[in-house]
A and B are shown apart, each in its own frame.
Chain A
Amino acid sequence: QVQLVQSGAEVKKPGASVKVSCKASGYTFTSYGISWVRQAPGQGLEWMGWISAYNGNTNYAQKLQGRVTMTTDTSTSTAYMELRSLRSDDTAVYYCARGSTVTTSDYWGQGTLVTVSS
C-alpha cells in the first residue's frame, strides 16, 4: 500500500533552516511528483510547491521563492523540503503528498510539526 512517512518534529530558532524528509513506499516513486503543503496552528492549508520525482522539475509558491528548495533522492524514494531563514510565522505542520499532477494530491504523509521560536 502507498505510504509516505515523514521525519519527526523540529524546533528551530528564527533565521535557521529546516529540512523535512518524506520517504515513499508502495508505488513507483519516479512515476509521480511530491507536493508540500503546510498548515499553521488553527489555520487552513497552504500550498508550498511540487517536485517531479521523474526529472526533478519544481514549481514553488511565489511567496516562498528564494527560501524553499525541494529535492528528491530516487535511490531511496525520499523527498526533501528545505526552508531557510525561518520566521515565527513558518511555525506549522508540514505535509508531503503524492501528486500525479501539481493539483492532485492523493496520498499524504502524517505531517511534521516545525516550531520556530527563540
Chain B
Amino acid sequence: QSALTQPASVSGSPGQSITISCTGTSSDVGGYNYVSWYQQHPGKAPKLMIYDVSNRPSGVSNRFSGSKSGNTASLTISGLQAEDEADYYCSSYTSSSTYVVFGGGTKLTVL
C-alpha cells in the first residue's frame, strides 16, 4: 500500500484536459511544498514533469501543470496528445523517517 493515493487509471480524448490527483496527509503533501510528478513510458526510466508542486523543468511542455490544495496535489495535462499516454507518479517529502514517499501510480490512456 502506497503512502500517497492516486487513481489507478484516467483517460481522455486527444485535445481534452485531464487531472490526476495525489492525496496524502498533513505529514507529507499537506505540510510541505515538495511535491513532484514523474511520467514513465513502458520500459523507460521516469521523467520529471513537475517539482515543488507547480514548477516545470526546462524542456517540459507547458501543457503540464501542477497545483495543491490541502492534502491533495494535482497534475493537469491540457491538450492531450497520444504521446502523453504513460504512467504518472507523484512523490512528496514526508516528515516520517522515510523522507520521500511515492503514489501508487496512475495509468493515463489517450482514447
Q: Which residues of A contact B (CB under 8 A)?
A: 35, 37, 44-47, 49-50, 59, 61-63, 95, 97, 101-106, 108-111
Q: Which residues of B contact A (CB under 8 A)?
A: 2, 34, 36, 38, 40, 45-48, 51-52, 57, 89, 91-93, 96-105
What's the Cα separation between A91 and B34 when bound, in Å? 29
| A104, B36: Cβ atoms closer than 8 Å | yes
Residues in chain B near residue A37, CB distance under 8 A: 46
| A44, B36: Cβ atoms closer than 8 Å | no
| B98, A45: Cβ atoms closer than 8 Å | no
A70 to chain B, nearest CB (A): 13
What's the Cα separation between A68 and B57 when bound, in Å? 30
- Neighbour of B51 across the interface among A45, A62, A103, A109, CB < 8 A: A103
